[in-house]
Structure 1
């Protein structure tokens, strides 16, 4: 299903329609995005911190995630292999490098 986004400017290096990972809780439950991972392979994960169960994972375009939470624009320059976390949606992002867990490989 095709859809469009209308941004005045786009800060990410990746195209708007790039597939990213999130959770059912974020998409359907309205949970805030509190953890962002920019994996070493270039994938983006936008998580709520409540689950990483495979049955909860969803694939959604990067533009849809930014429309859901414009605060993600502040992370457009997040390096590969880094994550950003916050306690609440209104808090600033804290950035740091992270090591992939073995079950993520």
Structure 2
């Protein structure tokens, strides 16, 4: 797969420890201020479980994230389970 995100593969992002351990990504945030990304498991976020990793590390583990690679900065996307459609919302 060619790289389709707006940040390079080696750019740092935030990831829940659980998604790096195999849980599905159910929430994605693309921040407006610095165009950074966060990939979360959809549960209540605990900063103690946050990892700073290269975007490619997350996308390699979760290739279905290609579905949200075009998410504009300042938007978030959520889904109820892996394989379900993403709901995209502009952040306030």
TM-score (norm 1): 0.80
Structure 1 unpaired stretches of 5+: 1-7, 100-105
Structure 2 gaps, min length 5: none
Q: Deviations over 1:46-105 (max 9, x none)?
A: 000123211110011111111111111121111111011110011121111022xxxxxx
Q: Which runs of structure 1 show a deviation greater than 6 angstroms over 4 or more consecutive aligned residues?
A: none
Q: Aligned Cα RMSD in Å? A: 1.2
TM-score (norm 2): 0.90
Structure with higher Rg: it is: 1
SS in 2 for 1:36: strand
Aligned length: 91
